[in-house]
Structures are given as structure tokens and as C-alpha cells.
Amino acid sequence: MYTETENYTPLDCGDSPTDGGQQFLERSCGIINAGAQAVMISIGHRSGLFDTMAQLEPATSQQIADQAVLAERYVREWLATMVTAMAEHYPQSRFSGYDLCDDAIAEATHMAEARGLHNIRFAALDMTNFDEPESYDFITSFDAVHDQKHPAQLIASIQRALKPAGIYLMQDIGGSAQLEKNLDFPMASLLYAISAAHCTPVSIGQGGEGLGAMWGWETAQTILNQAGFASVERHFLEHDPMNVWFVSRKEQYHVS
């Protein structure tokens, strides 16, 4: 997911002949969206979804649904409301989301359109060919680098895609690259199994390196260090033992 913040008209709810008409449409769209969010927040409260998520580690929609004893398909739709509400909370920003899979992009596009969001776009893209120099203020990836075709190539192109003051936030699985250090890692067997059944073949199937979910924070750190960032910070969060978080700046940050 990427954001860009300059020279952007926040919300376009359709053609309007006058400024007043446009403002009315924007305000109406905003009220309707906020109303929908309020309903979904209430549903999240009454169904226990917020309470369930507060007790879980970062989880998939299926895991949340299982824990809450709810149907996954509806939980996924509810989660989408919460996520797209973010784009509404930052109307001065533009968001772009890329993934290799057409079906994931089609669903994300559909959800954004259903919510009347015009500051977010999704596109199917093989990120191996990602080449948008100095285009973004902030780039994020969540669990998405280890199963790319060529992770180091992707990180280098992300570094290039940032504007000079840009920041890359990367979350990925926080296991070690050395098997013997993962014996006590949370859900290690499951992660190796998912890696074998999904992450590794996704990459190798593209002719890639197949680093897998347990590629190790050391591998991620090395790749980030070699990508040309001015600084790379690594964070392990107490409440999130399964993941590692990296904050990488394209240029050195100066406090004035």
C-alpha cells in the first residue's frame, strides 16, 4: 500500500456544475459513509469482533471468524469496512495497492467503489517490474515480501519509488534465518508448513528464489541494508511476538 499527499482533490462524488453543488455532494457522501461506518462499528461491538481482535495476535479473517464463532465471509466484509474507513480518514492522501492476483485486486476495487472512495486505487501488478521512481511519501508491505519472486529486487525498487523524505514500513514474519533459533518461536511448525505449502511455491512458481515465510529477520535486515536506505530501524514488539517491523528512511531524518 502506498500513499501520496500532494495536489489532490479529496473526494469526487460525480460531476457538479457549481462549487456549492460539489460541496453538497461531498458532504452528503461523507455523511452516508460515516453512517455506514457507525453501523458497522456497532455491529463490531455487538458481535464481539473488537473484543475478539483485542485478544488475538495479528490474524486472518478466518482466524478472527473462528474465534468469534461467526461466518468468515461476513467478518471479511466487516474488516473491509474498517480498512477502507482509513482512506476516508485521510482524504488529502492518495492510496495505491498492488498485488499479483487479479481476483484479490478485483475484490479490493469492488469494496472501494462500494464505499465511494476515490482516493484509493488497486492494480494487479507483478511487483518484479515495479518502477515508479520518487513517487511516494510512504510505502507499506504486510507479510508480502518473503513470497515475492525476487524480494531484494522489490525492496530496491521500493527504495527508488520513495520521495527523498519517504519512509518504508515493512512488517514480515519475525523468525530467524537459522532453524535452531526458531524452536521456541510462536507457531513455528505452522509457519514452516504454510511456507512449504504456500509462500515458497508462490515464489518458485514465478521462477523466483522461494525464500519462504521463515526467511528470517536477518535476511530481511541484510536486504534492507543493501537497498540504499539512509537508515533501517528494526523493531520487535512485545504484543506482537510473531512479526518483525522495519522502518526505513530514504534520507537521513533531521529535526530542525
Only one of the segments 11-19, 24-32, 85-93, 141-149 lies at the binding site for ligand SAM (rule: CB under 6 A); that segment is 141-149
Residue of 4, 26, 147, 172 that binds ligand SAM (CB under 6 A): 147
**What ranges make up the beta strands (E) of the chain?**
2-4, 94-99, 120-124, 136-142, 162-173, 231-237, 240-249
Distance, CA of 170 to CA of 191 (rounded, Å): 18
CB of 255: closest distance to ligand SAM in angstroms? 32
Beta carbons of 25 and 14 less than 8 angstroms apart: yes
Q: Which stretch binds ligand SAM (CB under 6 A): 73-81, 110-118, 145-153, 155-163?
A: 145-153
- When the beta carbons of 22 and 206 are compared against ligand SAM, the nearer one is 206
How would you write 100-117 as a 3-class SS string?
CCHHHHHHHHHHHHHCCC
Between 16 and 67, CB nearer to ligand SAM:
67
Least distance to ligand SAM, CB of residue 237, Å: 17
Segment interacting with ligand SAM (CB under 6 A) among 27-35, 49-57, 96-104, 159-167? 96-104
Residue closer to ligand SAM (CB basis): 24 or 142? 142
- Nearest residue (CB) to ligand SAM, 29 versus 144: 144
Q: Measure CA 59 to chain center.
A: 13
Stretch of residues binding ligand SAM (CB under 6 A), selected from 31-39, 46-54, 136-144, 172-180: 136-144
- Of the candidate residues 22, 37, 63, 128, the single one contacting ligand SAM (CB under 6 A): 128
Intra-chain end-to-end CA distance of the chain, in Å: 29
Beta carbon of residue 169, minimum distance to ligand SAM (angstroms, whole number): 12
Question: Site mask, ligand SAM, residues 185-214, x = CB under 6 A?
Answer: -----------------x---x--------
Measure the CA angle with vertex 237, ends 173 and 176; round to 5°.
Answer: 35
Q: Give the C-alpha separation, 26 to 68, whole Å.
A: 36
Q: Should residue 221 be labelled a site residue for ligand SAM when binding is judged by CB under 6 A?
A: no
| Residue 36 DSSP label | H
Crossing angle (nearest 10°) for helices 151-161 and 217-225: 50
Q: 2 forms bridges with which residues in the sheet?
A: 96, 139
Using CB under 6 A, list all residues that contact ligand SAM. Answer: 99-101, 104, 126-128, 142-144, 147-149, 202, 206
